Structure 1
Amino acid sequence: MAEFGCNEHHQSEVINYMRFARSKRLLRLKTVDSCFEELKDSRLVEETFTVDEVRDMMDGLHAVVRGEVEMELINTAHTNVLLLRQLFSQAEKFYLRLQTDISELENREQLEQVAEFEKTDFKVSAKMNQDCSKPKLAPLNEGGVSELLNKEIAKLQEENDTLKAKLRTLESQAMNVLDEKTKAQRALKDLQKVQGDQQLTAQSKEISCLEDTVAALKEDYEHSLTVNAASQKDLQENLVSAKHELLRVQEQLALAEKELDKKFQQTAAYRNMKEILTKKNEQIKEIRKRLQRYEPNE
């Protein structure tokens, strides 16, 4: 069997298509022959014809033959489109993009090779494939594509597991932060009742806002499971925002501590308040260290 520029399986597919095209071509040629035979049997019954009669017969034959040829060309074009759609659909399942070179369809050398293949090897190959069952379309280079897809799936699965583990850790950290902030809020409320200071109310509001920010951060972490890797950027931005909030609260607490020191340096309430604020500063520093573990160095 002569080489046709493709493997044995694809060469067999080409032979099947050429067999189909040849059967359609022979059928259309028989139709054209029947047009001429019908003209001979129905119109050529007299010995002499006028010029107008001959012209009328030729025009009628021309219209019939032209219609048959045009129908065959249209059908051939549509058949080729269906064949291309099968190949493209199969390639798209494996994320392949096939390309065609229309200029090569008029390559005389390759057309002669196809004609030679049809004259010689086609008949032998067609006879060998008569008893073969009709195969289904097989993917091109299936092994390489499957291996690539498996690697990509494994990579995505690994990233997903990493995100899940990170989310569980961040959820635990967020819950700890909420517990610590709740304790801090209670301590500030108790201090507000003892001192009756208006500034402590503002500090309590800041703590409440910070708690809402941490809750929103937790919600963003949960949402990161269902989105792609791009959501990690939003997560880092939320962490930076929370860090800034903590720093601002720490600064305001320090100012409040100074003011309260001035007012209550000689009272027992002052000593209790200072002890609470000192404990609060240590908790905030610990929270800051925890948050710095999950953000890049600036």
Structure 2
Amino acid sequence: MINFDLLMDDFFEKKSYAYYNHVKAFISYIRSNGISNDNLKVYLQGIRTVDIVKSLDYYINQNQVTSIDTAQRYTSAIKEFLVYIFNSRLLNNKELLDELYFPTFKEESFRFKMNQYILNSEELKEREGFKILSKEEVTELLDQCNQILDSKEGFSKAQKSQKYFNKYRSALILKLIILTGVTYKVIGKIKFKDLNLTFNTLTINEFEIHLPHLIRNHFYKFIQLINFNLGREIENLFIEFDGAELRNTTTTTSQFMQSILSRGDLNGLIKYVIVNMIKSGVNETIIKEITGVRDTIYSECHYLVFDKEKSIRHFDSKIRGLEIFDNL
């Protein structure tokens, strides 16, 4: 027999207590359906994503949730909880595990179904706008981008379908944004000749950037995809399915990102990258020149990093270090 309390105790020995209220709400939902310790094992072996969607609906209504972020955190928490249960207990639910592990671009996946519910929910009206993404959101986004770019099925479908080509291209564009913080406008101007796969470099706004090996391999596959689709040389690196110039609108990339995070604002991702650049000491002028961001976004990122007390101490130490200080 499996015990509710023991499940939670075991889970939280290894996982963050930030998940506690979400997991507790999920268990409350299960109990509301008449499930007890006596039949919990049978229930867990039979649940599917559709049941988790119902539990999210229950959670939203019971707690008057209006935030997409909160709904997404619930989704992540329950996925972690279920993966833990099925990997550490003598339970068999291959169908649900498949749904949990399928990449988001598959419509039968756990993430896809949960995100569809979140996007269509009338209760979740609060939108995050251009709020900076969290580290957890960027990690999830990167993981899903890698899954589609590493997928033989995704590559094969991208050769034949505009829909999947757009997803494949969007995944690579998002990885490039995570690496460099470049705006979509800059991405559309990158030329085919700017990519040097021999030396693993990409030139953006006259800055030559060395590429991590994985994204280099993804660019290599993307070039193969373009050559298969068009069979001719192109000028711009990122293009439409028919070979036309990349459209100015971010719709396809935003929709792909939204299918993963339930939010598709690229500025939120760009801000995350720029904030980390500032923390790493990258010069303001360099950031603006390579990314193409304007003063407004940079200023918002700067104030997210700015620590007034630390800055006061830093300025004081620099003043005392001036040669003229002891003569004043």
* Interval of TM-score (by shorter of Structure 1 and Structure 2): under 0.3
With structure 2 as the length reference, what TM-score do the two structures score?
0.19
- Higher CA-based Rg: 1
TM-score by structure 1 length?
Answer: 0.20
User: Whose helix proportion is higher, 1 or 2?
Assistant: 1
